A and B are shown apart, each in its own frame.
Chain A
Amino acid sequence: MTETRATREEQVLERIDRARQRKARVREEHITMAHGAGGKATQTLIEAVFLDAFRNPLLEPLEDGAVFGAGGARLAFTTDSYVVSPLFFPGGDIGDLAVNGTVNDLAVCGARPLYLSAGFVLEEGFPVEDLRRISASMARAAAAAEVSIVTGDTKVVQRGKADGCYVTTAGVGLVEGDVRLGVAHARPGDAVLVSGPIGEHGVTIMLARGELDIEADVTSDTAPLNGLVAALRAAVGGGVRCLRDATRGGVATILNEIARASGVAVVVEEDAVPVRPAVRGACELLGIDPLYVACEGRMVTVVAGDAAAPALAALRSHPLGEGAAIVGRVQDDPPGLVLLKTAFGGTRIVDVLVGDPLPRIC
């Protein structure tokens, strides 16, 4: 009987897999919040609308940025928009978030970030003093990441047509040496690392909204990762297969992208994943899994198995990687899936996030 059940389960899995391979299709008539949450709906929207319209070989891998040759050099190019609410939160604000986010997208492409643009959409009535604070914070973040903001744009819309201030940054960086990084490069035997405690930015924002009446000493982890990436590459160089900053959708979403793109399994040890007690406590209360909560200064790294120890040492020797840990390994079977060995001693899969993490109600 057990065997029949196992076989039937296998059939169901194949059925699901086939359903997932189908061409992405947006069924909704309107954009819903789920389309912006970084999970499956976002992915579907990107593939079915944007990729369909813009399709080209540079865009197609859907990495954090595009890498291309220009006049003998290899450049990385990326862009990101910021609509965070509240604009100011413990540990940062929309300004340093906008700079660090784009710097990080370039850094994880293996590029040295050079120049950024900054576009502002401002709502009528927005305090100039707040804009000064945001700009000062962007200037500090740019200096810390050793990049310059060299071009920009300003638009103002009527009151009620935007929520205070939105920022869009784009950035270019220089790819030096023979760097081949990507979510499709993981191989069986590789090790998976995270660069520090996860989930801090997401929890900070949730609590900063003041809707939850939960108080916890948590600050955003927003930080530029280019220095950390440089330290890692100096230590293990070609041993690095893939780098991703774990933003929307958290570490779990990145690991799923890696498993799917590389056709491998990622096995994660829940016990090994660094999560600060305040973040864990808040997540327990809210019924969400820290693996899905956004970070803004943490990256997921896949390195060759024999590079795991030096990679960990290199990350830990950098101030932004002190809390780094080896959290899992890559193996060949079952391809495309992320498995978790729970702290309790059980096993389960970790899927891509669907929409925003919803709180349990009882």
Chain B
Amino acid sequence: MRFVDEYRDADKARALSARIASLCEPGRAYTFMEVCGGHTHTIYKHGLEDYLPETITLVHGPGCPVCVIPMGRVDDAIHIAERPGVIMTSFGDMMRVPGGQGSFFDSTARGADIRMVYSPLDALKIARREPDRQVVFMAIGFETTTPSTAMTVLRAAAEGVRNFSVFCNHVTIIPAIKAILDSPDLRLDGFIGPGHVSTIIGCRPYEFIAHDYGKPLVVAGFEPLDILQSVYMLLLQLAEGRSEVENQYARVVPWAGNVRALRAVTEVMELRPYFEWRGLGFISHSALRMREKYAAYDAERLFDIPGNRVADPKACQCGEVLKGVLKPWECKVFGTACTPETPIGTCMVSSEGACAAYYNFGRFSRQRVREATR
């Protein structure tokens, strides 16, 4: 298939793998974080670690939209969904995320009308079709999905649709990366930067990572060769003693980002003073809420939400996994009490969650898989 197979070519991978190995200093271990859950998914789905020397460790970052939603917000959303006359809409990944009162799936089984959509525009379509119901869109995600929420609100306003609102949980990636850089638990040699987020925000916002923290960052695409090449570019920077922001994904990511999309977001939303991240705790200026001007489309203002903080289950170590301090299999409940069918933590829910990716694709020690498939 064109535009896909080119980026999954095993011969090119072998060539890159050899160059990666030649760049590794003997006796030195390297740890890189892939910030984005999409990268985690690619790494496991294609078995990419088979191409990396044992001395390179990839740790999984916080960039999984579903994984960072705290339990209290899920409860708030369910509270809204179970009000009479409400149709809650959400991306599919959100359906199994556990809150204190169960998940969306449990709520639909109790009788709530919660529908999966593929875009906020689909939610708006439902609102037009069912004018007597209040259609709420559970908005989650990083800068990648924020513009589509903002554009949908602008369209609803332009069309005068009054029965559509957004429960805004959009978060921003930079404060999360900063929190990880400031965390004492982790020693990283560089970052594989989030590709889709960067199509919106561009590459400039990462410059402090290279300049102030001295860590190289390569914005990467989502095909396996993209990620391998990014690892190569990171190693090359380290070998040459550089620390820069580089763009491996230039076929999609403009250096300056998408100004029009950013403008739409700024029009509709503003930074919250602080927001709770699952496992990471409260991070200031790390999330967005609807501006006063769009109050009529803000589910947080339209509904009286409980807003209770729900502590993560004690056994759950999603926070450590999200920060890259623990590998998924090092969590005490991984694969036993916490599985994709009965997740305790969010990392086990989304296909982009590190634990789900590891459980579904990895799980088996690489050495044994290699021996078994020889």
Question: Which stretch in A55-63, A298-306, A343-351 binds the other chain?
Answer: A343-351
Give every chain B residue within 8 A of A53 (Cβ-Cβ): none
Verify if A2 is at the interface (C-beta below 8 Å from B).
Answer: yes
CA distance A15 to B363 in the complex (A): 11
- B41/A267 in contact, CB under 8 A: no
Verify if A114 is at the interface (C-beta below 8 Å from B).
Answer: no
Give every chain A residue within 8 A of B361 (Cβ-Cβ): 348-349, 351
Give every chain A residue within 8 A of B341 (Cβ-Cβ): 34, 39-41, 44, 354-355
Which single residue of chain A is at the shortest CB-CB distance from B331?
A12
Taking CB atoms and an 8 Å cut-off, the chain A residues in 1-23 that contact chain B are 2, 5-6, 8-10, 12-13, 15-16, 18-19
Give every chain A residue within 8 A of B339 (Cβ-Cβ): 19, 354
Question: Which stretch in B92-100, B183-191, B241-249 binds the other chain?
Answer: B92-100
Given A333-B372, A346-B47, decide whether A360 and B41 contact each other with a Cβ distance below 8 A.
Answer: yes
Question: Which stretch in A25-33, A66-74, A105-113, A177-185 binds the other chain?
Answer: A25-33
CA distance A347 to B367 in the complex (A): 10
Given A349-B361, A358-B351, decide whether A344 and B106 contact each other with a Cβ distance below 8 A.
Answer: no
CA distance A175 to B328 in the complex (A): 49
The 8 Å CB contact of B51, one of A15, A333, A345, A354, is: A345
Q: Nearest-CB distance from B95 to chain A (Å)?
A: 7
The 8 Å CB contact of B336, one of A15, A345, A348, A356, is: A15
- A16/B335 in contact, CB under 8 A: yes
The 8 Å CB contact of B8, one of A337, A344, A348, A356, is: A344
- A344/B46 in contact, CB under 8 A: yes
The 8 Å CB contact of B365, one of A6, A15, A211, is: A6
Given A32-B106, A342-B45, A362-B145, decide whether A349 and B96 contact each other with a Cβ distance below 8 A.
Answer: no
- A339/B373 in contact, CB under 8 A: yes
- A361/B51 in contact, CB under 8 A: no
CA distance A39 to B341 in the complex (A): 9
Verify if A150 is at the interface (C-beta below 8 Å from B).
Answer: no
CA distance A265 to B47 in the complex (A): 18
Verify if A277 is at the interface (C-beta below 8 Å from B).
Answer: yes
- B109/A362 in contact, CB under 8 A: no
Which single residue of chain A is at the shortest CB-CB distance from B14?
A345
- B368/A334 in contact, CB under 8 A: yes
Q: Mark B335-347, 1 if CB is under 8 A from A, else 0.
A: 1110111100000
Which single residue of chain B is at the shortest CB-CB distance from A345?
B10
The 8 Å CB contact of A359, one of B14, B54, B91, B140, is: B91
Most buried by A among B14, B65, B224, B363: B363
CA distance A355 to B51 in the complex (A): 31
Verify if B50 is at the interface (C-beta below 8 Å from A).
Answer: yes
Verify if A287 is at the interface (C-beta below 8 Å from B).
Answer: yes
CA distance A35 to B10 in the complex (A): 38
Verify if A233 is at the interface (C-beta below 8 Å from B).
Answer: no
Give every chain A residue within 8 A of B46 (Cβ-Cβ): 342, 344, 346, 348
Given A28-B106, A32-B108, A362-B196, decide whether A344 and B1 contact each other with a Cβ distance below 8 A.
Answer: no
CA distance A362 to B66 in the complex (A): 11
Verify if A128 is at the interface (C-beta below 8 Å from B).
Answer: no
Verify if B49 is at the interface (C-beta below 8 Å from A).
Answer: yes
Verify if B4 is at the interface (C-beta below 8 Å from A).
Answer: yes
- B47/A347 in contact, CB under 8 A: yes
Give every chain B residue within 8 A of A260 (Cβ-Cβ): none
Give every chain B residue within 8 A of A32 (Cβ-Cβ): 105-106, 108-109
- B364/A13 in contact, CB under 8 A: yes
Verify if B164 is at the interface (C-beta below 8 Å from A).
Answer: no
Q: Nearest-CB distance from B345 to chain A (Å)?
A: 15
The 8 Å CB contact of B109, one of A2, A15, A28, A341, is: A28
Verify if B298 is at the interface (C-beta below 8 Å from A).
Answer: no
- B1/A345 in contact, CB under 8 A: no
- A361/B141 in contact, CB under 8 A: yes
Given A19-B335, A34-B105, decide whether A346 and B118 contact each other with a Cβ distance below 8 A.
Answer: no
CA distance A347 to B224 in the complex (A): 13
Give every chain B residue within 8 A of A281 (Cβ-Cβ): 1
Verify if A280 is at the interface (C-beta below 8 Å from B).
Answer: yes
Which single residue of chain B is at the shortest CB-CB distance from A360?
B351
The 8 Å CB contact of B4, one of A13, A284, A340, is: A284
Give every chain A residue within 8 A of B14 (Cβ-Cβ): 345
Most buried by B among A280, A354, A355: A354
Q: Nearest-CB distance from B7 to chain A (Å)?
A: 9
Verify if A317 is at the interface (C-beta below 8 Å from B).
Answer: no
Verify if B151 is at the interface (C-beta below 8 Å from A).
Answer: no
CA distance A31 to B92 in the complex (A): 18
- B142/A362 in contact, CB under 8 A: yes
Which single residue of chain A is at the shortest CB-CB distance from B47?
A346
Verify if B369 is at the interface (C-beta below 8 Å from A).
Answer: yes
CA distance A18 to B373 in the complex (A): 24
CA distance A16 to B348 in the complex (A): 14
**Given A15-B335, A359-B92, list of 4 further CB < 8 A pairs?**
A13-B364, A337-B364, A358-B93, A362-B142
Closest 4 A/B residue pairs (Cβ): A346-B47, A345-B10, A30-B109, A16-B335
A interface residues, Cβ below 8 angstroms from B: 2, 5-6, 8-10, 12-13, 15-16, 18-19, 27-34, 39-41, 44, 211-212, 265, 267, 277, 280-281, 284, 287, 289, 331, 333-334, 337, 339-349, 351, 354-356, 358-362
18 A-B pairs in the complex with CB atoms less than 8 angstroms apart: A12-B363, A13-B364, A16-B335, A19-B339, A27-B342, A30-B109, A39-B341, A340-B47, A341-B373, A342-B47, A346-B47, A346-B50, A347-B366, A351-B359, A351-B360, A359-B92, A361-B66, A362-B65
